[in-house]
Each structure stands twice: as C-alpha cells, then as structure tokens.
Amino acid sequence: MASAVEQLFTVKARIATAEREAGAVTLVAVSKTFDATDIRPVIEAGQRVFGENRVQEAQAKWPALKEAFPDIELHLIGPLQSNKAKEAVALFDVIETVDREKIAAELGKEIARQGRTPRLYVQVNTGSEPQKAGIEPREAVAFVARCRSVHALAIEGLMCIPPADENPGPHFALLEKLGLEAGVDKLSMGMSGDYETAIAFGATSVRVGSAIFGAR
C-alpha cells in the first residue's frame, strides 16, 4: 500500500497538471482523525498546509507540531461552535466555516481581544442540505457584507461541500458566481474525489484527506 508521502506527491502532481489550465492552487491536506505520528512524515516531505474538522482534536496534536514546524498553516474546515471561538482564533490560521451571525459575532470579539487575525471564509451550503452546515446560497452575499460591516471581519473567501450524490460541477460554478458577487478572492472547494474538477471551476484551494492519508 502506498505511503502517505507517496500519495501526497501523486496528489501534488495531479494538481500541477490541473493548474496548467487554471490558476495556482493551495493543497490543504486534511489530517482529521490522524495522529501526529501519521502527519509528521507528510510535513517532513514538504507539505505545510493542513485542515482539521474539530477544534478539540486539533488542540491535542497541532501546538507541538506547529512549534516544531513554525511555517505550518492550519485550517479549520469543520463546523465551529460559538463556545469554541476563543480556542479557534488562538490555534487556527484560517477558519473556513463562518456560517451564521452568532459565529461571526464571537469571532469578531475574539479577534479584537486576542489581536490575532486568522483568515476567514464563509461556508455556503450550495445544496441546501438540512443536515449540513453553511449559509444558504441566496443569503451568502448579504452575509459576507454583514460580516464585514457589522462584525469587522475580513472575509477573504467562500467554501462549500457539495452533496455527495450529485455532480459537483454546478455547485462549484455556483460558489464561483457567489464569490464574484461577494467580492472575495478565494474559493475553497474540491476534495479527494473531485479536486481536479474544482480546480477547473476556479478553486484556489482544495481539501484532500483520504487520497493522501488513506481511509479513516
């Protein structure tokens, strides 16, 4: 079975091929559920941008890794509870899952209090799935504007997770359209099964886990 490092290089090569038809893309290696011992070889192979789903899980392994590798960039890509805003602002460099007013308000308070400014994305529920986090597409542009004007948040991008049983292309196209309307530069979209499609639709970052680390 291929190692995580071998699979990392395979993913990077496929991204490089897709980039020739699009712009530069950041690979976010999704390390949720994997231990520091599994992650370290991937870091040592040169990967520096990682994604985690849960604040508490990330707190258990990333402070020591970030101390050993100070140029690590850590993304929160899972739902954020308002009572975890303090910890999220302290640990993460990018928070991709701003999706409701209460979270925006708490992040605004913590950013002002801590003097730390993680980069922020609004998560859009492009499939309007009731079980999934994210702001409704029809509300996304206005929500980005409120985050900026009411909560003083510097929203730089949008993020989505298309429904698992649908063609992701229309969802990526919708996110690209909303990004233009909202005036953001970054689009986080595409995972292990569809990141090349996402790049073709304008993704600036892709979140790849199982294609690197294997099945969870």
Contact 186, 158 (CB under 8 A): yes
Structure-token match 């508490």, residue found: 56
C-alpha–C-alpha distance, residues 216 and 206, integer Å:
19
pLDDT tens sequence for the chain (216 residues): 579 999 999 999 999 999 888 889 999 999 999 999 999 999 999 999 999 999 999 999 999 999 999 999 999 999 999 999 999 999 999 999 999 999 999 999 999 999 999 999 999 999 999 999 999 999 999 999 999 999 999 999 999 999 999 999 999 999 999 999 999 999 999 999 999 999 999 999 999 999 999 987
pLDDT at 105: 98
Task: Enumerate the β-bridge partners of residue 135.
Answer: 124
32 close to 53: Cβ distance less than 8 angstroms: yes
Note whether 148 and 154 are within 8 A (CB): yes
Which amino acid is located at 70 in the chain? P
Say what the pLDDT of residue 58 is: 98
- CB-CB neighbours of 102 under 10 Å: 11
pLDDT at position 149 is 97
Using CA atoms, how far apart are residues 139 and 117, in angstroms rounded to an integer? 25
Local structure of residue 133 (DSSP, 8 states): -
* pLDDT for the residue numbered 215: 85
Residue 132: predicted pLDDT: 94
* Cβ 158 vs Cβ 121: under 8 Å: yes
The answer to whether the CB of 127 falls within 8 A of the CB of 165 is no
Which helix (H) or strand (E) segment holds residue 208: the answer is strand 205-208
